[in-house]
Amino acid sequence: MSDPGKEAAFFDLDKTLMAGSSGMEFARVARRRGLLTRSQVMKWGRDHFKYRLKGATDEETAQVMRVAKETLANVTCTDIARMWPEVLAGILPRVYPEMLAEVHHHQDAGRKTYIVSAAGADMVSSLASVLGMDGGIGTRYVVNREGVYTGDLEGQFVYGSGKVPAMERIAAENGLDLAGCWAYSDSVSDLPMLEAVGNAVAVNPDGPLAVAAKENGWQIMRFDRLGRNLAVVGSVGAAVVLGGIGSYLSKRR
């Protein structure tokens, strides 16, 4: 008999837990605050549209990382922290109700729940906190003694095979058995993440992942519809949530 206390569910973020790309929400806010040029945002928008339709190749993702590093270089931690309420306000309405129900299902069964994403660690952790999850695992960037981002990565890029060591670290710290855990993703790039657990779930999978899921007998969830407006909280709830984010960030600072 399985022990829920040794089990967890790991959720990819973009196009799995939420519709579309969290990076696009970051780009919009960064533009409003003068961290990105109009041309950069337009390019991010084109890339986001292609990603929304068919996912991203490793080369395209590497390009996004280069832009992210250029954007973060010489920006203070305070400037970035002040962006998160706006960024999360754009992400929350895009969280799939079906996936939030999956999160709650695992929590009700006594399992821990985590977001695992290539997005910035602070944003992923903030979103996980707002959604009532146990933690968020994201990409970390180097901050110098003056509290300024250098644009360099701190540790591994949490993408593709880079998600597995992060999951293994969480498992070791919390006494989890990955063989009894769940993982959710939409993309074939997350095959290492899905293969690292005993229960893999393909969510609105791209073509290659759909094939792999069928070959491995994995569960497949389909509910995405392009252009669909999704809501997790109403306007009153959103105000309460954003107030909570501000409090959370203040405590971290």
Predicted model pTM: 0.81
Q: Where are the domains of the chain?
A: 4-252
Q: How much is the pLDDT for 41?
A: 63
CATH level 3 topology of 4-252: Rossmann fold (3.40.50)
Encode pLDDT of 175-216 as tens digits: 999 999 999 999 998 999 999 999 999 999 989 999 999 999
SS3 content of the chain, % helix, strand, coil (to 5): 55, 15, 30
pLDDT at 128 over 90: yes
Going from the C-alpha of 214 to that of each of 107, 200, 205, 208, 221, the distances in angstroms are 27, 11, 11, 10, 12
What order of strands is seen across the sheet that includes strand 112-120?
Answer: 135-139, 112-120, 8-11, 182-185, 199-203, 219-221
Encode pLDDT of 132-178 as tens digits: 999 999 988 888 999 898 878 888 888 888 999 999 999 999 999 99
